[in-house]
Structure 1
Amino acid sequence: MANNTQSIGWIGVGRMGYQMVERLVKANHNVSIWNRTKSKAEPLAKLGGKVVDKLADLAGVDILFAIVSEGKDLEEVYFGKDGVVTNAKGKLPKTFVDCSSISVEDSERIRARLKEHGVDFVCAPVSGNGHVIKAGKLSSVVSGPEASAKLAMPIIEVFAPRGVSYVGDGELARICKIAHNVMLGVVIANLVEITLLANKMGVPRHAFLAFMNNGVMGSMFTSYKTPALVNLDWTTTFTPELLRKDLDLGLDLGREWDVTMPVTAATREMVQQHIGKALSQDNSKEILAQDFARMMETFAGLSGMKLASENKNVGMGL
């Protein structure tokens, strides 16, 4: 059980971060919250969170969490000119916990810089999206100094109740999350292909995906992407550019460690085709801000298909 007496700092309330910290606040944790756009965090104050003006205002908490888009963003909120470490007056939190998806190299560099300040760095990336958080099915993988990781894990379990796995020291959790997101890309790419094949040959998408979800190949992921693929709802859970970033991270590790990854390489090119097609259109920013599952429209076009919503009330299986 989490220790509610610990003061928690939280950086980042985007699509994932908002709902994660909301769970902490609703569980009566003492949470101070900073977000680049303050107005996005302000609704959390009505639930009992404390929204702060400056990153430096988080320097006095017991444990500091963050979830941002990239390694450079994490370095900025820690060590930038307005960063929490740069502007701390007095003692820093003993433990920083990062839930972002960043590269192993970025994580190693940040860990080394924090160690110079006597701070332990715990990696705690998560598996899921906003729908998964709402359903209470988020999970996390954790690595870093064992004592600090074990202190952080009860707090992490509040927003990741499905399970928190400690995999060892250093950046091992980063490797697990990169591998996880590589699989996410491979699965969505193949799911798009086979759904289009069945659909072009006359099978309604909702019927085909119901069969898949009910069978041994179905998963939480295939189920919660089903409404998007059936009804062409591209409400963002994860953007194609972020998926490309994670596929590149996986391929970089494969090259470094001499692991052949041909399926990942092919998937990366599928994602790039979708991004390239978007860039050729006047509304490219809108397309690239939408969910990565919109790849289906790109590959339908390459298959001579024009898709329309099936307007079916299909559940997410969560």
Structure 2
Amino acid sequence: MKVGFIGLGQMGGAMARNLLKAGHEVSVWNRSADKAAPLTEAGARAASSPADAAQGEVVMTMLADDRAVEAVVWGEDGIAAAPALHVSHSTIGVALAERLAAESRAGGYVSAPVFGRPPAAEAGKLFVVAAGEDAAIDRAQPLFDAIGQRTFRVGERAPAANLVKLSGNFMIMAAVEAMAEAMTLAERGGVARAALLEILTETLFGAPVYRTYGELLVRDEFRPAGFPAPLGLKDMTLADAAATAYRVPMPLLGIVRDHLRGTIAAEGEDIDWSAMALALRRGAGM
């Protein structure tokens, strides 16, 4: 399939590489052109603009935030008028997803955010959450198969996929908050974090999120950031906007946001979002 890929960060670069490995004809574009070099060396074509990358059957975007998506779609040489089906993997707000779906032209639009950290992207083991017209998702399915291990379809309303993604990221942060509080309590009382994690993941909390993030908390493995804390704060802000729009109280979300803010202020922007545990340890005098 002739496909464009826009946004070549840790996640996007790995996803584009897996499309190449699956035999697709890939054109790539990134605001910082140097990030395209490893992919062009692997066989991708360097597009001259977002619009140039969107001249094939599908164009996939994996960008940091709403503003970046808006620039690529409606900015100079954007993809809005291009013929390709736009598949957005970015974690964006519900309102922007609604606008993208409403203003999509001949190519169409699918929201398809993913769950998984960079190692999962590199291994082609992401989970794709897709929403849009069935025919459009069918067109993109071979590409989803190349980047992920399973695709979940959540209906024809594109924003539904983004709501799932924001809900999932909130639950990840809620799990990290709970583990960080429990580990801080246990450590303060003389129980090693590693011991607590082993007991809990081998009994009550064996899910991947507890194992993956629990290990990061035990080892203080917060740099290099698998998912930078400012992006986590952005996602929690988008979740809060959705909660406001739907009139849903989410008190735990407020705690998570505050701990992310404190962590970024104290540690800088190059730290993983799981480092919010440091805010709890500081509060406990540790």
Q: Same fold (TM over 0.5)?
A: yes
Over 3 Å counting, the alpha-carbon distance change for 1:272 and 1:59 in structure 2 is: closer
Question: Residue in 1 aligned with 2:43?
Answer: 48
Which secondary structure state, in structure 1, belongs to the residue aligned with residue 104 of structure 2?
A: helix
Larger Rg: 1
- Preserved CA contact (<8 Å) 2:18 2:124: no
Question: Residue in 2 aligned with 1:27?
Answer: 22
Give, in whole Å, the separation in 1 of the partners of 2:212 and 2:36.
Answer: 27
Question: Residue in 2 aligned with 1:299?
Answer: 280
Q: Structure 2 counterpart of 1:239, which letter?
A: P
Which secondary structure state, in structure 2, belongs to the residue aligned with residue 288 of structure 1?
A: coil
Q: Structure 1 counterpart of 2:47, which letter?
A: V
Moved more, 145-154 or 243-252: 243-252
Q: For 1:27-106, what aligned pairs fall within 5 Å after superposition?
A: 27-85=22-80, 92-93=83-84, 95-106=85-96
Give, in whole Å, the separation in 2 of the partners of 1:136 and 1:52.
Answer: 23
Q: For 1:96-245, what aligned pairs fall within 5 Å after superposition?
A: 96-115=86-105, 118-161=106-149, 163-170=150-157, 171-234=159-222, 235-245=224-234
Give, in whole Å, the separation in 2 of the partners of 1:84 and 1:106.
Answer: 15
Q: Structure 1 counterpart of 2:253, which letter?
A: T
Give, in whole Å, the separation in 1 of the partners of 2:124 and 2:77.
Answer: 34
How many corresponding residue pairs?
284
Question: Residue in 2 aligned with 1:3?
Answer: none
- Preserved CA contact (<8 Å) 1:38 1:53: no
Q: Structure 1 counterpart of 2:153, which letter?
A: Y
Could you tell me how far 1:166 is from its partner in structure 2? 0.8
Could you tell me how far 1:120 is from its partner in structure 2? 0.7
CA offsets 1:126-170 (integer angstroms, 9 cap, x no match): 001102223443101000111101211221121111x10111112
- Preserved CA contact (<8 Å) 2:124 2:146: no
Q: Structure 1 counterpart of 2:114, which letter?
A: V
Normalising by structure 1, report the TM-score. 0.84
Moved more, 214-223 or 144-153: 214-223
CA offsets 1:158-216 (integer angstroms, 9 cap, x no match): 1111x101111121101111111111111111111111111111122222212222223
Unaligned runs of 5+ in 1: 1-5, 279-283, 306-318
Which secondary structure state, in structure 2, belongs to the residue aligned with residue 33 of structure 1?
A: strand
Give, in whole Å, the separation in 2 of the partners of 1:153 and 1:104.
Answer: 23
Equivalent of residue 289 in structure 1, options 255, 270, 281 = 270
- Preserved CA contact (<8 Å) 1:64 1:97: yes
Question: Residue in 2 aligned with 1:312?
Answer: none
CA offsets 1:241-293 (integer angstroms, 9 cap, x no match): 222222222222222223222222222222233234x2xxxxx5xx2221012
Moved more, 76-85 or 6-15: 76-85
Q: Structure 2 counterpart of 1:269, which letter?
A: D
CA offsets 1:82-111 (integer angstroms, 9 cap, x no match): 32346x5xxx21x11000000011111222
Unaligned runs of 5+ in 2: none
Give, in whole Å, the separation in 2 of the partners of 1:207 and 1:22.
Answer: 38
CA offsets 1:44-100 (integer angstroms, 9 cap, x no match): 1222222223223223211110010111211111211132346x5xxx21x110000
